[in-house]
């Protein structure tokens, strides 16, 4: 057991374990987000949605399929099996190399961004983040999520089809436009926090109250009150830009079915299509995680101790600290799930923007709002020191 005691192997094993856990959680979340999307959209439109498919335990000899409370919870499994078994058709007119590499780029870039997000406090003394103490957290995420656009652009271009091509073009211009406001809108936060390390950002919010709900630590100050306004503006701009970045309605022009058949993935089938699909939802989850980490206090919930058993209500300290480590992870993913539901809710409420409206919103409003917001925050930070 000497080998486990050396710090290198310890890091390798814990990182691998965390990677597996996070990937597992994220992929499960992706498939159930698709399910939630279908169910919520149905309920909003006065339908029921998929409510039949249970877990197929009849295959191992049970009398009846297991279909717990909502019904239809086996649907993602059925969908996955369907997508895996479908014919993976590569049209003759595509540029094979880029056609094959595009879906991998699309989902790979998104999954890498999850590495720096602290999804829990600590568990048995180990920080719950695949790559902790990366002091360029949000920059890393922005860099890799912009790489994700390559997946879409290459897919649109290599498919050699006019619809895919238009989808790819739309997507690249849209993503570049909204990345500006996405990046600019969080600069006020870094002015306030003075760090780019996402774990430290969460720690700050634990002691000083969540950025968006500043009274979660129990008291308010004038500085926090005045800073709340620019933070709120940057939250709005950031969230809406995140909608645009993840191609969600009302910004889903790259895959506007009515105009472009399927958009950039028109020529894809089977698992390659599914990879785009998964990548899109994984991007939603990554974006929500970032919003949760930056604005909504990450894994922190008032009165709940962290993984080292520090803070929270004294009465809760009777339980061992590792339980609270797990609770913190659950809190984080709970917040992410709530945001995902909000994403879905918005999608089934709003109609799509026209393309010029989209560009106008990005360049004339959000860019300027985010820019002015930076200066306002700088002024407030200067005149109301903490």
Partner 1 sequence: MAYTVTRPKLTFWEKMYLPQVLGGLAITLRHFKNMITGKTKVVMQYPEEKWDASLPPYYRGAPALVKDEKGRERCVSCQLCEFICPPRAIRILPGEIPAGTKWAKVEKFPLAFDIDMTRCIYCGMCEEVCPEQAIFLRKDYAITGFSRDQMVHDKAKLYEIGGTLEGLVFKWNPLK
Q: Are 320 and 12 in contact (CB under 8 A)?
A: no
Min dist. Cβ of residue 40 to partner 1 (A):
7
According to the binding rule CB under 8 A, does residue 8 interact with partner 1? no
CB 356 → partner 1: shortest distance, Å? 15
Q: Measured between alpha carbons, how far is 211 from 97 in angstroms, rounded to an integer?
A: 45
Least distance (Å) between residue 353 CB and partner 1? 10
For the CB of residue 256, give the shortest distance to partner 1 in the complex, in Å. Answer: 19
Scan residues 26-55 and list those touching partner 1 (CB under 8 A): 40, 43-48
Q: Smallest distance from the beta carbon of 338 to partner 1, in angstroms?
A: 14
Neighbour-count burial of 318, counting CB atoms closer than 10 A to its CB (0-12 exposed, 13-18 middle, 19+ buried): exposed
Number of residues that bind partner 1 (CB under 8 A): 13
Nearer of residues 225 and 345 to partner 1, judged by Cβ: 345
Give the residue among 260, 266, 259 at the shortest CA–CA distance from 160: 266
Within 225-284, the residues that bind partner 1 by CB under 8 A are 236
Terminal CA-CA length for the chain: 49
> In angstroms, what is the minimal distance from the CB of 251 to partner 1?
13
CB of 181 to partner 1, least distance (A): 15
- Going from the C-alpha of 270 to that of each of 13, 145, 212, 273, the distances in angstroms are 34, 24, 41, 6
Task: Give the nearer residue to partner 1 in terms of CB position, either 10 or 345.
Answer: 345
The stretch near partner 1 (CB under 8 A) out of 78-86, 102-110, 226-234, 340-348 is 340-348
**Which one of residues 349, 354, 360, 364 is an interface residue with partner 1 (CB under 8 A)?**
349
Residue whose CB is less far from partner 1, 33 or 122: 33
> Closest Cα to residue 170, out of 281, 251, 275?
251
What's the closest the beta carbon of residue 348 comes to partner 1, in angstroms? 6
For partner 1, the binding residue among 345, 360, 368, 379 (CB under 8 A) is: 345
The interface region with partner 1, picked from 113-121, 127-135, 175-183, 343-351 by CB under 8 A, is 343-351
- In angstroms, give the least distance from the CB of 375 to partner 1: 22
Q: Which residue's CB is nearer to partner 1, number 201 or number 361?
A: 361
Q: Whose Cβ is closer to partner 1: residue 75's or residue 158's?
A: 75
For residue 98, give every residue at least 6 positions away whose Cβ sits within 8 Å of its Cβ, in sequence order, or none: 154, 155, 157, 158
x/- string (CB under 8 A) for partner 1, residues 295-334?
----------------------------------------
The residue (of 111 and 370) whose beta carbon lies closer to partner 1 is 370
The only residue of 21, 187, 323, 346 in contact with partner 1, by rule CB under 8 A: 346
Nearer to partner 1, 47 or 162 (CB): 47
CA dist 265 and 159 (Å) reads 8
**Of 54 and 118, CB closest to partner 1:** 54
Which residues in this chain contact partner 1 in the complex, by CB under 8 A?
40, 43-48, 236, 345-346, 348-350
């Amino acid at each position: 057991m000497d080998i486990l005691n050396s710090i290198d192997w310890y890091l390798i094993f814990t990182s691998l374990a965390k990677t597996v856990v996070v990937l597992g959680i994220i992929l499960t979340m992706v498939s159930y987000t698709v399910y939630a999307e279908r169910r919520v959209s149905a309920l909003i439109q006065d339908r029921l949605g998929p409510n039949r498919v249970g877990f197929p335990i009849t295959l191992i000899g049970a009398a009846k399929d297991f279909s717990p409370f909502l019904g239809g919870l086996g649907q993602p499994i059925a969908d996955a099996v369907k997508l895996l078994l479908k014919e993976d058709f590569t049209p003759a007119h595509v540029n094979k190399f880029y056609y094959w590499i595009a879906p991998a780029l699309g989902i790979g870039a998104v999954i890498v961004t999850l590495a720096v997000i602290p999804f829990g406090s600590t568990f048995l003394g180990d920080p719950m983040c695949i790559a902790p103490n990366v002091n360029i957290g949000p920059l890393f995420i922005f860099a890799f999520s912009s790489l994700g656009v390559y997946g879409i652009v290459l897919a649109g271009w290599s498919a050699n089809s006019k619809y895919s091509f238009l989808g790819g073009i739309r997507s690249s211009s849209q993503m570049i436009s909204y990345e500006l406001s996405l990046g600019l809108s969080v600069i006020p936060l870094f002015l306030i926090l003075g760090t780019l390390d996402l774990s430290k950002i969460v720690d700050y919010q634990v002691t000083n109250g969540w950025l968006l709900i500043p009274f979660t630590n129990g008291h308010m100050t004038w500085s926090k009150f005045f800073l709340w306004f620019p933070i709120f503006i940057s939250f709005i701009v950031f969230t809406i830009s995140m909608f645009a970045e993840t191609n969600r309605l009302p910004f889903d022009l790259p895959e506007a079915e009515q105009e472009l058949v399927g958009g950039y993935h028109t020529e894809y089938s089977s698992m390659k299509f599914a990879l785009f699909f998964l990548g899109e939802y994984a991007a939603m989850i990554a974006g929500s995680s970032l919003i949760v980490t930056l604005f909504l206090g990450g894994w922190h919930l008032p009165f709940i101790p962290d993984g080292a058993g520090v803070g929270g209500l004294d009465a809760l300290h009777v339980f061992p600290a590792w339980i609270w480590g797990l609770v913190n992870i659950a809190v984080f993913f709970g917040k992410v799930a709530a945001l995902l539901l909000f994403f879905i809710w918005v999608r089934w409420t709003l109609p799509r923007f026209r393309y010029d409206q989209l560009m106008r919103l990005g360049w004339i409003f959000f860019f300027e709002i985010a820019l002015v917001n930076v200066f306002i925050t700088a002024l407030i930070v200067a005149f109301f020191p903490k």
